[in-house]
Amino acid sequence: MAIILVVDDEVGIRELLSEILIDEGYDVRLAENATAARKLRNELRPDLVLLDIWMPDTDGISLLKEWHAGGQLNMPVVMMSGHGTIDTAVEATRFGAFDFLEKPIALQKLLSTVQKALKHDTPPPRAPLTLEAFTRSAFVKEFKRRLEQAAAKATIVLLKGATGGMAEICTRTLQPPRAPWLDLSAVSSALSQEMLEKVSGGILFVPDLSALGKMQQMNLAFAVDRLEKLNLQLVAASVATFPALAEAGWDQKLLARLGEVWVALPALAGHADELPEIASLLLSNFVERGEVPPRRFSTGALNALRTLPWKNHAEASWTTLYMLVRNLALTSLDEEISADDVSRVMPQERESSPQMASLLPLLDQPLREARDAFEKLYFEHHLRLEGGNMTRLAERSGLERTHLYRKLKQLDIKLGKRHEEP
């Protein structure tokens, strides 16, 4: 039985479409906004999505683009709108929509479109994951703008702070639609003019400069001299310093060309609240590409990722996160990755003190509840240490007295009468 996900903020439309489609024998699930749609799409992997364009949190076109950029558009999507235009329909089709239905939707039109979409043998082309998918991470969006700005004027861009899969995600962001792509690290023989001409107008990619052998370094130099003539862009990634590469025998002139324009990935440190979305997108991409079994993160696992001591250097964070997510998916015995799995994969990053152990249950709670529970423990602990002295507690916590009293009341921390006096 085909699973159809109906996404519309109007309850009447959701119920009407649901009744019609259930009567036709389909398994129908409903989502009232983009947030619910994301969750259900990842959990159910529906055979078809009916997606409204105008929604309060994220519009349907933006959600479609997000799925396209995240490599998650492996099911037909039919857009719906009561205010549709030709331009809107064209834009939706450009990003992988199967068809467009104008409201009010005629019964026969609905059923025929659903049947055609479900019988469509060729799934939408699965776009590779790009930075465009990280729509709710402000610091990633800022990095994306810097990367695109640099690439718009430079034929060679050096990407610092990530290698391998994470570097590919960044580079795919710069790849024009249907433009050719050549990974120079995969070319082990001598690179020819003919090979470069076949990818003219496209992207040359080096996922890790330090991994290139002598022949591949010569191929890279050969390509660098022909970039402008063949309208090619080169993106090379490295976490190794150029002095280290020079010491390893790299040509100094080639290194000078490669280092003319560089963009560094921002560190993950200081962005704990954005890590769950980033990790979930990476996991979804691994699942969609068939690299790992179907997996999802529990709330506890996401909170555990938040608490890992991410380094201030991108070199030590993005590559670690990418590998960590992949390892968790491959080694978790259950479909839901737990906080214990995170601790198992990265035990050296976890505190083992009795105090920390008492806080571990908080990781299984939603962030707001966990934060409130921690704050209550914090203030109760220090209130005891200070013997109930509010002046010293205010100094220790760094809160102004009025704010402190308000916070204690909010957390339902009872004070003795003498402690309540200023």
Pairing of strands 181-183, 77-81: unpaired
Task: Give whole-number Cα distances, 202 to 133, 146, 298, in Å.
Answer: 22, 20, 40
Residues in the chain: 422
Q: How confident is the model at residue 171 (pLDDT cuts 50, 70, 90)?
A: very high
CATH code, domain carrying 281: 1.10.8.60
Amino acid letter, residue 295: R
- Residue 192 forms part of a structural domain: yes
- Please indicate, yes or no, whether residues 258 and 279 belong to a single structural domain of this protein: no
- Please indicate, yes or no, whether residues 143 and 254 belong to a single structural domain of this protein: yes
- Residue 361 forms part of a structural domain: no
Question: Could you identify the residue written with the tokens 């079994």?
Answer: 293
Query: What CA–CA distance (Å, rounded) separates 359 from 347?
Result: 16
- Please indicate, yes or no, whether residues 297 and 322 belong to a single structural domain of this protein: yes
User: Which residues, in sequence order, are CB contacts of 150 under 8 Å at separation 6+?
Assistant: 157, 261, 263
Of 99, 119, 139, at which residue does a domain stop? Answer: 119
- Please indicate, yes or no, whether residues 374 and 348 belong to a single structural domain of this protein: no
- Please indicate, yes or no, whether residues 288 and 372 belong to a single structural domain of this protein: no
- Please indicate, yes or no, whether residues 140 and 43 belong to a single structural domain of this protein: no
Question: Domain of 286?
Answer: 275-354
Amino acid letter, residue 194: E
Domain count, the chain: 4
Q: What is the pLDDT of residues 289-316, one digit of tens each?
A: 888 998 999 989 998 888 888 876 666 6
Q: What is the pLDDT of residues 312-367, one digit of tens each?
A: 666 668 888 999 999 999 999 999 999 999 988 875 444 444 555 556 566 666 77
Q: What is the pLDDT of residues 180-221, one digit of tens each?
A: 999 999 998 999 999 999 999 999 999 999 999 999 999 999
- Please indicate, yes or no, whether residues 305 and 387 belong to a single structural domain of this protein: no
User: Which residues, in sequence order, are CB contacts of 318 under 8 Å at separation 6+?
Assistant: 161, 162, 166, 265, 268
Of 220, 235, 264, at which residue does a domain stop? Answer: 264
Q: Taking 90 as the threshold, does the pLDDT of residue 169 lie above it?
A: yes
Query: What CA–CA distance (Å, rounded) separates 124 from 389?
Result: 65
- Please indicate, yes or no, whether residues 300 and 253 belong to a single structural domain of this protein: no
Query: What CA–CA distance (Å, rounded) separates 46 from 113?
Result: 16
Amino acid letter, residue 293: P
Burial class of residue 191, CB neighbours in 10 A (0-12, 13-18, 19+):
buried
Helices (H) and strands (E) in the chain, counts: 20, 12
Question: Taking all residues of the chain, what is their mean pLDDT, rounded to a whole number?
Answer: 86
pTM of the predicted structure, to 2 decimals: 0.64
- Please indicate, yes or no, whether residues 400 and 330 belong to a single structural domain of this protein: no
Of 264, 293, 318, at which residue does a domain stop? Answer: 264
- Residue 62 forms part of a structural domain: yes
- Please indicate, yes or no, whether residues 327 and 399 belong to a single structural domain of this protein: no
Query: What CA–CA distance (Å, rounded) separates 10 from 31?
Result: 10
DSSP string, 143-166: HHHHHHHHHHH-SEEEEES--HHH
Query: What CA–CA distance (Å, rounded) separates 420 from 415?
Result: 6
What's the token pair of residue 309?
A: 């001591």
What's the token pair of residue 210?
A: 């330090």
Query: What CA–CA distance (Å, rounded) separates 214 from 31?
Result: 55
- Please indicate, yes or no, whether residues 194 and 236 belong to a single structural domain of this protein: yes
Q: How confident is the model at residue 421 (pLDDT cuts 50, 70, 90)?
A: very low
Query: What CA–CA distance (Å, rounded) separates 376 from 183?
Result: 53
CATH code, domain carrying 108: 3.40.50.2300
- Residue 359 forms part of a structural domain: no
- Residue 55 forms part of a structural domain: yes
79 near 51, Cβ under 8 Å?
Answer: yes
Q: Taking 90 as the threshold, does the pLDDT of residue 146 lie above it?
A: yes
